[in-house]
Structure 1
Amino acid sequence: MRVKDYYKGKNVLVTGVTGLMGKALVEKLLRSCPEVGNIYCIVRTKRGQDPQERWTQTTNSMLFDQLKEKNPESLSKVIVLPGESTAECFGLSEEHQKLLVENVNIVYHGAASINFAESIVSAVKLNMKNTFSLLELSRRMKKLELFVHVSTAYSNFPRKGEIKEEVYESHLSWRHVLELVEDECGCETLLHLQPKLLNGHKSNYTLTKGLSENMVNDYNRYFPVMIVRPSLITGIYKDPVPGWLDMDNFISLICKGVRMGVLRVILCDKSREFCHIPLDLSIKAMIVAPWKKSLSSKKEVDVICCQMDQENHQNKMTFHTVHRVAYPMSLSYPDKQAMWYPFSLYTTNPSIYHVLFLILHIFPAYFIDMALKLSGRDPQLLKVYSSIWALFELNKYYVNPHHWFSTSNYKNLEESLLEEDKDEFSMATSDFDPENFIHANGLHVVKHHWKEAENSVNPEVLARLRRFKVAHYTLCSVLAIGVSYQAVQLLQSLM
C-alpha cells in the first residue's frame, strides 16, 4: 500500500493550521494525497478576523501556489471549525463536536504557544490544557485510528547524553499541574514555584511540552498515539518552494541583527552544529509515520525525532557556515533601518563576551537612547539589546554540547518508503548543501518575509551603507592607532 492510498478517504483533524507546521501539513496532504477525505481545521477568531477569514488569508501564501495551480478544487476539502484551544472541548459547538466524533480518522495536534518567554500559567493553558481537551474529545471519536502529537526535540532539555526516541517520565505530575491552573490560588502557586518546577528547563515552553508528552503517552491505553519531535525548524529544502519560511527563527534573527549593525558580538563556538530540520522534511515525516505505523501491530507509543543527520558531515550546518553566507547577503541586501555597518565578533569565553557586550552593545545603546530621549523621541536600543541577550539564551537549546538526539525512527521512515513514493515523500539529504540551503532560506526571508529585496538597488539605502562603512573603518583605524600608541608608550616606560 502506498502512502497516498493509506490516506484515501480518511478524514483528518488538524489543530494549529494557521501556524507554520499546520499550514504546511494541510498543503502537503492536499497536494500529495489527493484522495484524502475532509480536513477539519479548528481556528480561533483573532484580531477581529473570523476563523474562515484567517484560513483564507493563510492560503494566500505562496506556499499554496503549486496546489492552486494543479488541484485548486482540493481546498474545498478543508472545513474550518470555529474554536478556542484553551476552552473545554476546544471551544467547539455541540454540532461540530458531533461532526468530529462521527467522522475523524486521524488527529494531528499542533496548536501550541512557542513563546519561550511565556509565563508558566499561560504555557500550561496553551500547551497542556488544550492537549488534554483534545485527547478527551478524541476518546469519543468512533473511527479514530491515530492521534499524532507535535512536540519538540527539546522537550527533555535537562537530560544529558543521548536523548532517545522514547517518552521520558517527567519530575512532575501532568494531572497535578493541570489542576493548579483551574483556580486563582493554584495559578499563584505555580508562579511562586516556577523556578523549582523548571528543574533544569530553560523555559516554560519545553517544560510544558515534556509534560504534554507524558499526558499523550498515558492516553495510549485508549487509542494509538504518536509523538513527533522536530528540532529547530528551518526553511523548506525542496518541496514545494525552496527556502520558504514565513516566520523568524533563531538563525534569521541572528542575520537580522547583523544586517542592522546592532549584533556585534556573539557567544558561540563557530564550529558547533545547529540542530535543525527543514520544514518540508518534518512534514513528510508526519505524513509517512502514520502510514508506516498502520503496517505494524506494535502497540507502544511511536516517537519520531525529526533532525538532520548529525553523523553526516556533509549535512553539517554551523555558525561559521551561517556567517559565511549571511555576511555577504547583509551587504548585498542592506537593511534600511541599519544603525551601523555590519560586523560581528565571536567568542566562546563568557567573561570576554560579557565585557564586549557592555562595550559594543550596552554603552553605545545607553548614549544613543539618552540622545533620543533628550530630543523627545522614544529610546529603543536598550530594549533591542535586552531582546538580543534573551535570544542568545535560546542558543543553549540549539547548540548544546551536553546532549544529542537519537533519530533511528526518523531514518527508518525513509528506508520503509516504496520506490514509487519517494518522489513525493523522500526525506533523503544526500545532495544537501548547507551553504546553498542557507542562501535560499536567507534570500526568501529577505524578499518575501521581510520584504526588503528592493534595498539592493535603493540608492538611499546603499548610500547609507557606504557612510556607515566609512565611519566604521575610520573608527577602527583611530582605535587601532590609539591602542598602538598606548602600547608603545607602555613599552618605552618599561625600558
Structure 2
Amino acid sequence: MAIETKNVKLSPIQNFYSNQSIFITGGTGFLGKVLIEKLLRTCSDISCIYVLIRPKKGEEIEQRIEKILDDAVFERVKREVPKYRHKVVPMLGDCSKPDLGLSEADKNILISDVSIIFHVAATVRFDEKLRDAVAINIGGTKEILQISRKIKNLKCIIHVSTAYSNCNRKDVDEKFYKPPITGDDIIKLVSSLEDDKIDAITPTLLDNFPNTYAYTKCIAEQVVLQYGKDLPVGIYRPAIVISTYKEPLEGWIDNIYGPTGALAGGGAGLIRTMNVDKNCIAELIPADLTVNALIATAWNVANNKNEAAEPPIFNYYSTWNRAFTWSEYMNLAMKYGRRTPTTRSIWNYSVTLAKNPYYYRLLLLLLHFIPALIVDIGLLASGNKPRLLKAYRKLNKFAAVTAFFSTSTWNFSNNNIIALWNSLSSKDKELFFFSMNDFDWDDYMKKCIGGIRLYIFKEDASTIPEAKKRMARFDFYHQIVKCVVTIIGFLLLYKLSMFILSFGIIGGVSTISENVIEKSV
C-alpha cells in the first residue's frame, strides 16, 4: 500500500511519485527505457517499478531486464542513485493476452501495490498484420483498463497514444474523435476470421488510414473512453520521438526507426533519395523531453481526476511557436553528418528529397537499384553473395509506408500541454523540462548526429579523422561519376534530338512529296 508523504525539499512532481509503486508496459522499448531511467534518477523516492516483459529470442525476463539495465542509458543513474536496481521488478506477461498474460500472484501484487500506470506498449510497425496490431494496441489497452478497476490505491493511468492516431484528418485537437469501428467490434471481427480473410479486408477496413498502426491506435482511444469511465485516466499523444537531447546522455538512441533510420542510412551512403516534401513540418520531439512531459501528465491527471466529462488528452508535438521543416532537418543532418562522418559508409553523404512520387521512383531507379545491381553483379562475379538489391528492397518497403507522414502536414492543438507546462513549479520546470518554445534545433541536431555515430555505428570521436579522409575520397569518386553520367546524358540527349530532328525532316519531305504528287495528278 502506498504511503502518502510530503517532503518540502522535493518538487510537487517528485512528492507525487514519492513512495509510489509504478507499473509500466512497453518498458523494454526506446521510450520505456528513457521513462524508467528518468523516474529512477529524478524521483528516487519511488518504491518500485514493475515492468511487464515477455521472453524473447530464448531469453527469460530476468535476462532481458539485466540486459536493459546494462545499457549505456542507465550509466548516469548508476552513478547518481547506485541503490536503484532492486526497485526494478520484471513481471512475466504479454499485452496481447487476456489479463496481460499475468499470473494470479503478479496480478494480486498489482492490485494491492500499484498506484500509477504508464501504458506505453504498442506494436509500432506500420505494416503489422491487423490481427497482431488489434491484439496488442487495442486488446492490451482494454486489459489494462479492466485490471485497473481492481487496483485499490490507483492514482492515475496514462495511455500513450500517438499524435497521428487521427491522421486521417488535417486538424487534430486535444479531444476524442469517432473511430472507424469500436474496439469490441474489431476484436470480435479479427477473432472470427482466418488470416487470409483478414488480409483481404484490411484495405477496406483501413479506408483513409495509412496503416494498421494509426488505425488501431485511433480505436484504442475509443477503448479508453469506453472502459476508462470514472477512472483517473489520461491520453498522451506524442509526435515522432527521436533521440534524446541532453538526458541522461546527449543524442542517445537504440534503434533506426523512422527519421533516425533515414539519417543513419544517409550517413552510411546507402540512402540516396527519400520521398519527402521538404516544406512539410517535421513534428519531431526528443525522447527526454517527451518523457518529462509524460511524467508531468500523470501528476496532472492524478490531481484533476474526474473533473472533466471525458479523460483529458495531451498532444505533444514540436511546433509551439516555430515550425521545423523536413528541409531544415535534412540540411542540419547533412551539415553535422559531413563534419563527423562514419568509417562504416559505403559512399559519400548525399540525399535528394523528392516530393513527386514519379520523380522519386525515377531517382530510386537511378540512385538505388541500378548501382545496387552493378554492385551485386560484381559480388556474384567474385564469388560472393549479392546483398545490396535485397537491402534496397527492404528500404523501399520502409519508405513506402512512411511517405504518408513525410509528405503531409497536420494542424495540431496543444492547449492542454501548454497549460500543463505553465502549471509547473520553477523546480519542476527545471527537473522535467519539456517546453518546445524557441527550441535550438541546430544544437539538437549536432547531438543527434553524434548520438547516431556513437550508439548506432559504435564509433567514438577518435575515428573522425580517418572517416573524413574516406569521405573526401568518396566525394572525389562521386564527382567523377557525376561527370560521366552527365556526359552520357548529354550524348543520349543529343542522339535523341538528332533522331527527332531527322524524323521531322523525313516527315517534312514526305509531306512535300505528297503535295507535289497531289498537284501533279
**Are 2:288 and 1:280 equivalent residues in the alignment?**
yes
Shift of 1:339: 3.3
Which residue of the partner structure matches residue 480 of structure 1?
486
Q: Distance in 1 between matches of 2:303 and 2:364?
A: 55
Match of 2:179 among 170, 173, 196: 170
* Matched letter for residue 251 of structure 2: G
Shift of 1:227: 0.8
Match of 1:179 among 181, 188, 191: 188
3-state SS of the aligned residue for 1:81? Answer: strand
* Matched letter for residue 208 of structure 1: T
Shift of 1:152: 0.9
Q: Distance in 1 between matches of 2:246 and 2:343?
A: 30
Shift of 1:402: 4.8
3-state SS of the aligned residue for 1:39? Answer: strand
Shift of 1:401: 3.4
Greater gyration radius: 2
Q: Distance in 2 between matches of 1:9 and 1:476?
A: 64
Q: Distance in 1 between matches of 2:487 and 2:198?
A: 56
**Are 2:441 and 1:434 equivalent residues in the alignment?**
yes
Which residue of the partner structure matches residue 317 of structure 1?
324
Question: Is the CA contact (8 Å cut-off) linking 1:239 and 1:280 kept in structure 2?
Answer: yes
Question: Is the CA contact (8 Å cut-off) linking 2:275 and 2:353 kept in structure 1?
Answer: yes
Shift of 1:394: 4.2
* Matched letter for residue 362 of structure 1: F
Match of 2:197 among 184, 189, 197: 189
* Matched letter for residue 175 of structure 2: E
Q: Deviations over 1:35-77 (max 9, x none)?
A: 2222211111112222122112111222222222121213322
Shift of 1:288: 1.0
Match of 1:63 among 66, 70, 73: 73
* Matched letter for residue 229 of structure 1: R
Q: Distance in 2 between matches of 1:284 and 1:118?
A: 29
Q: Distance in 2 between matches of 1:5 and 1:344?
A: 48
Q: Evaluate the alpha carbon distance shift between residue 462 and residue 289 of structure 1 in structure 2; reply closer, same or farther with a 3 A threshold.
A: closer
Shift of 1:5: 1.2
Match of 1:290 among 284, 292, 298: 298
3-state SS of the aligned residue for 2:384? Answer: coil
* Matched letter for residue 358 of structure 1: L
Q: Evaluate the alpha carbon distance shift between residue 463 and residue 281 of structure 1 in structure 2; reply closer, same or farther with a 3 A threshold.
A: closer
Shift of 1:482: 4.2
Which residue of the partner structure matches residue 410 of structure 2?
403
Q: Distance in 2 between matches of 1:430 and 1:151?
A: 23
Which residue of the partner structure matches residue 510 of structure 2?
none
**Are 2:460 and 1:468 equivalent residues in the alignment?**
no
Q: Evaluate the alpha carbon distance shift between residue 239 and residue 206 of structure 1 in structure 2; reply closer, same or farther with a 3 A threshold.
A: same
Shift of 1:447: 1.0
Which residue of the partner structure matches residue 15 of structure 1?
25
Q: Distance in 1 between matches of 2:228 and 2:43?
A: 27
Q: Distance in 1 between matches of 2:97 and 2:302?
A: 32
Q: Distance in 2 between matches of 1:304 and 1:397?
A: 23
Which residue of the partner structure matches residue 251 of structure 2?
243
Q: Deviations over 1:452-490 (max 9, x none)?
A: 33683575x666544433322112122334445666785
Shift of 1:312: 2.1
Which residue of the partner structure matches residue 376 of structure 2?
369
**Are 2:317 and 1:307 equivalent residues in the alignment?**
yes
Measured on the aligned residues, the alpha-carbon RMSD in Å equals 2.6
Q: Distance in 2 between matches of 1:267 and 1:399?
A: 7
Shift of 1:280: 1.3
Match of 2:36 among 21, 26, 41: 26
Which residue of the partner structure matches residue 114 of structure 1?
124
Which residue of the partner structure matches residue 52 of structure 1?
62
Q: Distance in 2 between matches of 1:397 and 1:358?
A: 21
Shift of 1:101: 1.0
Match of 1:75 among 85, 88, 105: 85
Which residue of the partner structure matches residue 253 of structure 1?
261
Question: Is the CA contact (8 Å cut-off) linking 2:183 and 2:220 kept in structure 1?
Answer: yes
Deviates more, 1:281-290 or 1:475-484: 475-484
Shift of 1:414: 0.8
Question: Is the CA contact (8 Å cut-off) linking 1:255 and 1:326 kept in structure 2?
Answer: yes
Deviates more, 1:151-160 or 1:375-384: 375-384
Which residue of the partner structure matches residue 266 of structure 1?
274
Deviates more, 1:420-429 or 1:484-493: 484-493
Q: Evaluate the alpha carbon distance shift between residue 60 and residue 97 of structure 1 in structure 2; reply closer, same or farther with a 3 A threshold.
A: same
Question: Is the CA contact (8 Å cut-off) linking 1:333 and 1:456 kept in structure 2?
Answer: no
Count of equivalent residues: 489
Question: Is the CA contact (8 Å cut-off) linking 1:232 and 1:398 kept in structure 2?
Answer: no
Which residue of the partner structure matches residue 114 of structure 2?
104
* Matched letter for residue 115 of structure 1: R
Match of 1:414 among 416, 421, 433: 421
Q: Distance in 2 between matches of 1:395 and 1:38?
A: 38
Shift of 1:323: 2.8
Q: Evaluate the alpha carbon distance shift between residue 402 and residue 280 of structure 1 in structure 2; reply closer, same or farther with a 3 A threshold.
A: closer
Which residue of the partner structure matches residue 390 of structure 2?
383
Q: Evaluate the alpha carbon distance shift between residue 295 and residue 256 of structure 1 in structure 2; reply closer, same or farther with a 3 A threshold.
A: closer
Unaligned runs of 5+ in 2: 1-10, 506-521
Q: Evaluate the alpha carbon distance shift between residue 6 and residue 403 of structure 1 in structure 2; reply closer, same or farther with a 3 A threshold.
A: same
3-state SS of the aligned residue for 2:486? Answer: helix
Q: Distance in 2 between matches of 1:26 and 1:159?
A: 33
Which residue of the partner structure matches residue 213 of structure 1?
221
Shift of 1:448: 2.1
Which residue of the partner structure matches residue 39 of structure 1?
49
Which residue of the partner structure matches residue 203 of structure 1?
211
Q: Distance in 1 between matches of 2:494 and 2:201?
A: 57
Shift of 1:22: 1.3
Q: Distance in 2 between matches of 1:486 and 1:85?
A: 59
Q: Evaluate the alpha carbon distance shift between residue 385 and residue 486 of structure 1 in structure 2; reply closer, same or farther with a 3 A threshold.
A: closer
Unaligned runs of 5+ in 1: none
3-state SS of the aligned residue for 1:221? Answer: coil
